[in-house]
Structures are given as structure tokens and as C-alpha cells.
Structure 1
Amino acid sequence: MNLLFFCPRWGSEHLSWNDFFAKVKHAGYDGVEMSLPEDEAEGKIISDGLREHQLRFIGQHWETTDSDLDVHAEAFARRLRRLANAQPLFINTQTGKDHFTFAQNESLISLAATLAKQTGIPIVHETHRGKFSFASHITKQYLEALPSLRLTLDVSHWCTVAETFLHDQPEALALAIGRTDHIHARVGFTQGPQVNDPQAPEWKEALDFHLSCWDRVVEDKKRRGVNTVTITPEFGAPPYLPLHPYTLTPLADQWASNVFMMELLKKRYQEF
């Protein structure tokens, strides 16, 4: 099985594009997952840098937040088209709003499907708080109603919303795992979407739960004959990354946590 690991731009915005791409390549990633700026000149710098460093690209959409559906849909389509024009492997989108109706969110999912068909770029929808997919039991309703809906699984959000490791929602979790195309490998817990350090022994239960979910995704892909698995370790910058009070110094190293997760999963899945 071909494992591809992608580095988030999140947390490295202080680096120039060239320095960021060089650091990503040196760490052993296969590519980057990120949004793109509106500025065309900066976009060319990015595309040239990706080519120079031989890095693959996953487009990431998260910016659309307007509560007016018409305004929201226009911005959503514009951003997805911009990402598709850059010819990513696929686009991962945080879609809709948790307070939109089912029909409103479904219209945005349908819009994404239309754009994917027009551009030839697959679009998958990330499980994320604040979006249509904010909770496992809610996402289950969309998956049941929309057979073509595909996910980026970030199960850390669902643990936080449910305040459990989803032991009481096995059907919803199983359905989502079977519809997952991409993994966001961040470890959350029942009171937050990110543990401070995934290597710390006190987070073993949380890490083991997330590993079990990712194992099931990889096993499902292998069973279906899917030869490539894409994973983005996505431990985030503050405020996801907890800080000491007063000094505001990080409790852990974001970059190190993501590299640790990549190396752990490379070793774990090398025989798949």
C-alpha cells in the first residue's frame, strides 16, 4: 500500500514559502495540505515551490463562514474553483454550518459535487466542529441520505462534541470509516480536539482510540483494493496547542508532534 503524508501549513505561516517547502521535504513528507491566497503572484510562487521541491498538493478549504446561505454559497464556490485550478490531488473542505438546516447544508454538498464533476478534482468533506459534520450522529444522517458523500475523517472533533470516545455510537463511526477517503491524524480527547503531547503516557487511551479508527480506515481501503492512503498529521498551532498561563509559551512542539505522528503511522502501516 502506498502511504502519502502531507504537512499542514497551519503553524508555519512565519516561514517563507521556500523555507517551508524545504523543511517539509527534509522532514520526510510527500506533500502539503493548505489553502491558497487570493493573490495570483503569491500563488505562482507556491506552485513553483511545490514543483521545485517535488511536493504533492492537497487543497484545503475552511474560510467560508457567512450565515447568509446565498453569500456563503457564492464564496464557497469561488474558493473551491480557485483550489481546483491549482490541480491538487483533491480538495478537502470544511463545509456548511452546524446551524444550517439539512437542506441548506445538502445544497452546499451538492454544489461541491457539481464543481468536482466540472473540474475533475475530487472534493471530500472534513468532519469538523461548526460544520454540517460536527457530530457523528448528525453526519450519519447525511451519509445515509447521500450515498456519494465522501469524508476526511478527523475524529478528534467528534470525541469533543460527544464527550466520549464514541463507544456508544458504533454504527455512526463504522459508517463514517467506510466512507473515508483521507485522514487527519490529530489526537483529541473528551474535553478538547487536541491533546497537548501525543507522546505523553497520560494520553494513551486517546491515542489508542484514534489509532484504532485509522487502522480501520486503512484496513477498509486494503479490502477494497485502494492502493493509496493519504494522511495529514494535523496537530495545530495555538489556541489548539495549549499554552502556559501568563507566559503563553507552548506546552509542546507542534512541528515535533506532527512529525512524531507521521513516523509512528509510517512504521505502523509499512506492512499493509
Structure 2
Amino acid sequence: MKIKFYAPLWGNTLPFDAFCQNVKAAGYDGIEMATSFDTDETQTILNTLAKYNLELIAQYWQSYEQDFEEHIINYEKYLRNLAKAKPIFINCQTGKDYFNFHQNQLLFDLASRIAAETGIKIIHETHRGKSLFAAHITHEYLMKIPDLRITLDISHWYNVHESLLDDQQEAIDLAILHTDHIHSRVGHPEGPQVNEPQAPEWKSVLEAHLSWWDKVVETHQRNNTTLTVTTEFGPYPYMPVLPLTQMPLGNQWEINVFMMNLFKKRYL
């Protein structure tokens, strides 16, 4: 098997060229990000990625619309636009936690049709507020839609279930079998992101995440498939900050590079 690593554009404040240069120097294979509806702007992004020999994972997160009919129209618009950039795949925060099963299934079905038409794989992220917001809910979707492939961001489920997921074994085991991509953020029962994964007070939480990631890696080793990982620790408000000054309690870039190197040391 092979593991490839991607940096999130989320939180970056550097010019895109400088960011890409840092991403390449750190040892990443590419960047996960949304693309623009402006053709020239997207082409500039693609040219810069090519300059540094970096791959693109396209990202959809803009699921704002409460009205389902409006939502599905915009969902298709965004996915078709992302597919034009020819990413290695599209990662989607699909649907809403308050849409019913049928509504979210219509979105999954639409994504499958777009993937078939464009040749760009589309997978769906386990994210709070979206269709796959909880382990037991995701289990239901995977049982009923067995070809659904996911991005496992298990940090969200730690927060949603307010636990280390010891009582969600069956649901997570099934999710692991459907996982193509990992977001390697470390969450905890009271939040989606610890302030510093190397800190000893978070050791048990980090080890709990690693125990699930071990199983994802084992599955890809067994199937001889490529696993992709985005080290998606984020900025404020995911990153805890001090009151009044709003100074972050950790360095987002350094934490993400640490997570990549932790995976490389453990799995490569």
C-alpha cells in the first residue's frame, strides 16, 4: 500500500505560491482546498500546484442552504465546478444533519452520477452538522448505501458522542471498511480539536485516535490500496485561543507537520 499526505489550505495566511513552497518542502504530496468559480483564478491555482509538483484534493464544504431544493441545486453546481479542476478526488461535507434519510440519499445519488459522468471520484466526510455527523447515523447510511465511500474525520464523532467511542465499535468498524481518506485531526469528548496533540494530557485521546487509524491502515494494506491523509488541524475557532488577546494556544502549521511525520513514522 501507499500513503499520501495533503496539507489543508484552511487557515493559511501566506500568498498561495509561498504556501505551496512550504508544503512541498515539508514533505506533503498535495493540498486539500476548494476551487474558485473564476476560471482564471482556478487556473492560477492549478499552475502553482503544478510548479511545485503538488496534487489537488478538491473540497466542498459550502452546504449553507436550509431549503432542500435550493441546497441540491447549489450542491450540483459546486461539485461540477470542482470536477473541472481535475482533482485526484472531491471530498464533500454532504447534506445536513436535519435533512431526512431520503433527502441526504438524493445528494449521495447525485454525487455518484456526477462522479460517473466526470470520472472524478467523490467521497463524503464525517462532519458535525452534515449527513454523516454521528457514528450510528453513518452506520445506517453505509448499511443502506454499500458503495458509499467516506473521509473519516473521527474527531467530530468524539465530540458528537461526548466519548472516546468505546461503545461505537460496530459502527466505526463498518466506517473503516468504507474509508478512502483520513482527516487526521485529534478531537476530544468536549471539542473537535485538542490544543496540542503532543501534550501529555492528551496522550490517551491521541492513542484512541491512533487505534482507529491503525485499523484503516491495516484495511488498505490488506487491499493494497492507496490511503490519503489530510492533516486538518485548523485555525480559530477550532484552535483554542487565549481570552481577550485571541492568541492561539498552538501553532497550526507545526501541529499539522507533526501529524504527518507521526503517520510516516508509524505506518511507513
Match of 2:139 in 1: 140
4+ residue runs over 6 A deviation? none
Q: In 1, Cα distance between the equivalents of 2:87 and 2:43?
A: 14
Match of 1:268 in 2: 266
The structural deviation recorded for 1:64 is 2.1
* Residues 197-246 of structure 1 deviation map (CA, whole Å, 9 limit, x = unaligned): 001010011100111111100101111221x1110010001000000011
Match of 1:9 in 2: 9
Match of 2:69 in 1: 70
Alpha carbons 1:182, 1:231 under 8 Å: kept: yes
Q: Which amino acid aligns with 1:222?
A: Q
Q: In 1, Cα distance between the equivalents of 2:197 and 2:208?
A: 12
Q: Which amino acid aligns with 2:7?
A: C
The structural deviation recorded for 1:40 is 1.7
Q: Which amino acid aligns with 2:71?
A: H
Does the residue aligned with 2:124 lie in a helix, a strand or coil? strand
Match of 1:216 in 2: 215
1:242 to 235, 240, 244: 240
The count of residues paired between Structure 1 and Structure 2 equals: 268
Match of 1:114 in 2: 113
Q: In 2, Cα distance between the equivalents of 1:108 and 1:154?
A: 20
State the TM-score, normalizing by the size of structure 2: 0.99
Q: Which amino acid aligns with 1:10?
A: W
Q: Which amino acid aligns with 1:136?
A: A
The structural deviation recorded for 1:169 is 1.2
Structure 2 gap segments, 5+ residues each? none
Q: In 1, Cα distance between the equivalents of 2:27 and 2:39?
A: 28
Q: In 2, Cα distance between the equivalents of 1:239 and 1:107?
A: 31
Q: In 2, Cα distance between the equivalents of 1:30 and 1:43?
A: 19
Q: In 2, Cα distance between the equivalents of 1:253 and 1:165?
A: 25
State the TM-score, normalizing by the size of structure 1: 0.97
1:155 equivalent to 2:163? Answer no
Alpha carbons 1:65, 1:97 under 8 Å: kept: no
Q: In 2, Cα distance between the equivalents of 1:260 and 1:171?
A: 30
Match of 2:254 in 1: 256
Q: In 2, Cα distance between the equivalents of 1:208 and 1:236?
A: 20
The structural deviation recorded for 1:98 is 0.3
Q: Which amino acid aligns with 1:55?
A: L
Structure 1 gap segments, 5+ residues each? none
Q: In 2, Cα distance between the equivalents of 1:34 and 1:42?
A: 13
Q: In 2, Cα distance between the equivalents of 1:133 and 1:65?
A: 16
The structural deviation recorded for 1:2 is 1.7
Q: In 1, Cα distance between the equivalents of 2:16 and 2:191?
A: 31
Does the residue aligned with 1:147 lie in a helix, a strand or coil? coil
1:104 equivalent to 2:103? Answer yes
Q: Which amino acid aligns with 2:230?
A: T
Instruction: Map 1:10-25; keep pairs closer than 5 Å.
Output: 10-12=10-12, 14-25=13-24
Match of 1:200 in 2: 199
Does the residue aligned with 1:247 lie in a helix, a strand or coil? coil
- Identify the range of structure 1 (36-45 vs 210-219) with the bigger mean alpha-carbon deviation: 36-45
Q: Which amino acid aligns with 2:196?
A: D
Q: In 1, Cα distance between the equivalents of 2:138 and 2:3?
A: 27
Q: In 2, Cα distance between the equivalents of 1:211 and 1:35?
A: 28
Q: Which amino acid aligns with 2:80?
A: R
Does the residue aligned with 1:241 lie in a helix, a strand or coil? coil
Structure 1 vs Structure 2: percent identity of aligned residues? Answer: 52
Q: Which amino acid aligns with 2:18?
A: D
Q: In 1, Cα distance between the equivalents of 2:72 and 2:20?
A: 32
The structural deviation recorded for 1:17 is 1.4
